[in-house]
């Protein structure tokens, strides 16, 4: 499964953290270090499974943990209309 960023989302990075701003609603969302790593990878080039593998390598977590966290994060981004299916 692949996802892409929705239109009108602006991303600002600060060291290990970042903020997503929905330019249509003005709502903004803080991303932690893992979310900041994942956000730029969400694109037509990467499957969710592929991103989870990279999270596992980068943050030294189990595959199961990476997939669970990835699933929760994607659900949250979808609910906030920050990403959509590719």
Partner 1 sequence: MQMPADYRFTEELPFLDFRIRWHSNQQLPIDILGEQFLYSSLSAGADVRDSFDFYIDIIEDSDSDASWNTALQHRYDANEKLLYLSYLDGAIQVTVDYGPKRVTAKIMERALVYRAALGNWVLTIPLSELLKLHGIYLMHAACLVKDGKGILFAGRSGVGKTTLAIGLLTMGWQLVSDDEIFLQSNPELLAHGGPERAKVSWPTWRRFSYYLGEQDRYNGKQIIHLGDHFPGQVTNRHAITAVCFVGQSDRVTICPLDPMDAYRRLLSVAFLTSEPALTRQNNDFLYRFSREIPAYRLHTSLDFKALDAHLAQSILHQ
The contact set with partner 1 (CB under 8 A) reads: 8, 10, 12, 14-15, 17, 19, 21, 23-26, 28, 30
Shortest spacing between CB 27 and partner 1, in angstroms: 9
**From CA 65, how far away is CA 54, in angstroms rounded?**
12
CB of 22 to partner 1, least distance (A): 8
Q: Where are the beta strands (DSSP E) in 26-77?
A: 28-31
Q: In this complex, which beta carbon is closest to partner 1, that of residue 15 or of residue 57?
A: 15
43's CB contacts (< 8 A; 6+ apart) are 2, 4, 5, 86
Compare residues 31 and 38 and give the one whose CB is closer to partner 1. 31
Min dist CB 31 to partner 1, Å, is: 11
CA dihedral of 49, 12, 84, 69, whole degrees rounded to 10: 40
């Amino acid at each position: 499964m692949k996802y892409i960023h929705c239109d009108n989302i602006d991303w600002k990075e600060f060291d290990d953290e970042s903020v997503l701003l929905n330019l249509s609603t003005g709502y903004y969302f803080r991303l932690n270090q893992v979310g900041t790593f994942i956000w730029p990878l969400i694109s037509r080039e990467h499957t969710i499974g592929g991103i989870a593998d990279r999270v596992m390598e980068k943050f030294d977590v189990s595959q199961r943990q990476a997939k669970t966290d990835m699933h929760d994060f994607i659900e949250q981004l979808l609910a906030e209309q920050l990403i959509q299916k590719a």
